[in-house]
Structures are given as structure tokens and as C-alpha cells.
Amino acid sequence: MRTFMDELTFNDVGNEVTLVKYRSASSTEPGDAEVTL
């Protein structure tokens, strides 16, 4: 998890994990390009 995310922290009890991912440089700005989900 730590390898794949930018931040990973646990709470004091150890039953809660917080994962954070920041915008990557290679991602494109949202615009009117086609996006299919």
C-alpha cells in the first residue's frame, strides 16, 4: 500500500488507515475530451 500511495498513516488504535494519492504529473487536465466510464 505504501509503495502504491503517496501517504499512508494509521490511527493510534490500529483499526483505521488513511491513504492519500496526489495528482500525478502525467495526468491530463479535465476538459472536453471524450471520457467513457
Partner 1 sequence: MTTVLVVDDSAADRRLAGGLLERRDGWNVIYAVDGGDAIEQIELHLPDAVLTDMQMPNVDGLALVNRIKEEYPLVPVVLMTAKGSEEIAVRALEAGAASYVPKRTLAGDLVDTVEQILASSTDERHHSRLLNRIQRQECEFVLENELGLIRSAVQYLQEMITQVRLCDEPERLRVGVALEEALINAFYHGNLKVSSKLREQSHEEYYGLAKQRMLEAPYCDRRIHIQAGVTRERATYVIRDEGPGFDPASLPNPTDPVNIDRPCGRAYF
Which residues of this protein are in contact with partner 1, per CB under 8 A?
Answer: 1-5, 8, 10-11, 13-24, 26-37
State the nearest-atom distance from the C-beta of 21 to partner 1, in Å.
Answer: 5
Give the closest residue to 22 by CA, choosing from 10, 9, 6.
Answer: 6
In order of 8, 13, 16, 27, 34, the CA distances from 37 in angstroms are: 28, 37, 30, 17, 10
State the nearest-atom distance from the C-beta of 12 to partner 1, in Å.
Answer: 8
State the nearest-atom distance from the C-beta of 35 to partner 1, in Å.
Answer: 5
